[in-house]
């Protein structure tokens, strides 16, 4: 591999996606671009589903369930849909699993590449816009069923607060004040979050709320996976605050999930619903 060098007229600058295009290694030659050339929708491919995000007093919580489905079949029990984007931000993605993970990989690299080339970070708003452009670039594939709809969450070091961004299939970018959800179970998950949300929640309360939201979504939506204590599979939950992106470990998630399930059971017993 020779050193990629450009003249002053075709230099891609800090844009990694443009660099990929110029060197011919871009996603146009991969699954995202290939879809545009095929008029028919692909056969049933794995889809990842529900993700939620909630703002709390000193940051944001981002969570996603672990199920991937292809048609009526569960294709994966442990897929991950929540990823760090860089030190102070993360993405959660619902949609076609292949293009989603590819988009995340490209987004992570785009941010890191910019930071290394320019010596400074992109602003949080700038990162949100970058992701919007990638979602828009996926529109031809989305028209054929390979939809990718992310949530972007981060800690804005300039204004010292957590921020949330939702997207639509066309790359439209909408900042949310308190909470966001995406994917097939998002309607149920978002309702739970909406009812449980309090301004300036603690981190612990916010984590419990997203776990509850995903649990309820899994109860109503067949494409959303619930917690599985038998196989030790819990949602991926990440918190982003001034100290950066941290993924919660399984021990904490197991503890909180067990408490959540106990709470649901007690409620049913209290109503005399247990049999």
Query: What are the beta bridge partners of residue 76?
Result: 68
Please pick, among 23, 49, 157, 224, the residue that the annotation labels catalytic. 49
- Least distance to other proteins from the beta carbon of 227, Å? 28
CB of 196 or CB of 244, closer to other proteins: 244
CB of 114 or CB of 152, closer to other proteins: 114
- Least distance to other proteins from the beta carbon of 5, Å? 5
CB of 1 or CB of 230, closer to other proteins: 1
CB of 84 or CB of 235, closer to other proteins: 84
CB of 164 or CB of 239, closer to other proteins: 239
How many Å apart are CA 253 and CA 248, to the nearest integer? 7
The secondary structure of 188-253 as a DSSP string is: HHHHHHHHH--TT--HHHHHHHHHHHHHHHHHH-TTS---BTTTTB--EEEEEETTEEEEPPHHHH
- Least distance to other proteins from the beta carbon of 3, Å? 4
Sites of contact with other proteins (CB under 8 A): 1-5, 16, 19-20, 23, 25, 105-106, 109, 112-113, 116-117, 119
Please, what sign has the CA dihedral across residues 208, 211, 215, 221? positive
- Least distance to other proteins from the beta carbon of 18, Å? 11
How is the beta sheet containing 59-64 ordered, strand by strand?
179-182, 51-56, 59-64, 236-241, 244-247
Is 49 in the active site? Answer: yes
- Least distance to other proteins from the beta carbon of 33, Å? 15
Q: Which residues are catalytic?
A: 49
């Amino acid at each position: 591999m020779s050193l990629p060098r450009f003249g002053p007229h075709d230099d891609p600058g800090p844009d990694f996606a443009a660099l990929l295009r110029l060197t011919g290694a871009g996603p146009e030659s991969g699954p995202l671009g290939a879809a545009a050339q095929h008029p028919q929708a692909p056969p049933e491919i794995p889809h990842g589903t529900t993700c939620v995000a909630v703002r709390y007093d000193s940051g944001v919580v981002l969570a996603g369930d672990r199920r991937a489905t292809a048609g009526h079949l569960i294709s994966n029990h442990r897929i991950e849909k929540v990823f760090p984007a860089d030190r102070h931000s993360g993405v959660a993605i619902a949609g076609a699993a292949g293009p989603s993970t590819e988009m995340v990989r490209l987004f992570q690299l785009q941010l890191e590449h910019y930071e290394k080339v320019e010596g400074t970070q992109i602003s949080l708003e700038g990162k949100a816009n970058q992701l919007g452009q990638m979602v828009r670039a996926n529109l031809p594939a989305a028209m054929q069923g390979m939809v990718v709809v992310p949530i972007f969450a981060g800690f804005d070091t300039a204004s010292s607060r957590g921020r949330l961004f939702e997207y639509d299939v066309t790359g439209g970018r909408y900042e949310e004040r308190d909470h966001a959800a995406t994917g097939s179970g998002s309607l149920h998950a978002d309702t739970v979050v909406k009812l449980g949300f309090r301004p300036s929640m603690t981190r612990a309360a916010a984590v419990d709320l997203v776990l509850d939201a995903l649990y309820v979504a899994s109860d109503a939506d067949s494409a959303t996976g619930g917690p599985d204590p038998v196989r030790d599979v819990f949602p991926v939950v990440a918190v982003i605050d001034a100290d950066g992106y941290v993924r919660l470990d399984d021990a904490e998630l197991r503890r909180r999930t067990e408490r959540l399930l106990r709470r649901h059971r007690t409620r049913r017993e209290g109503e005399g619903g247990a049999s």
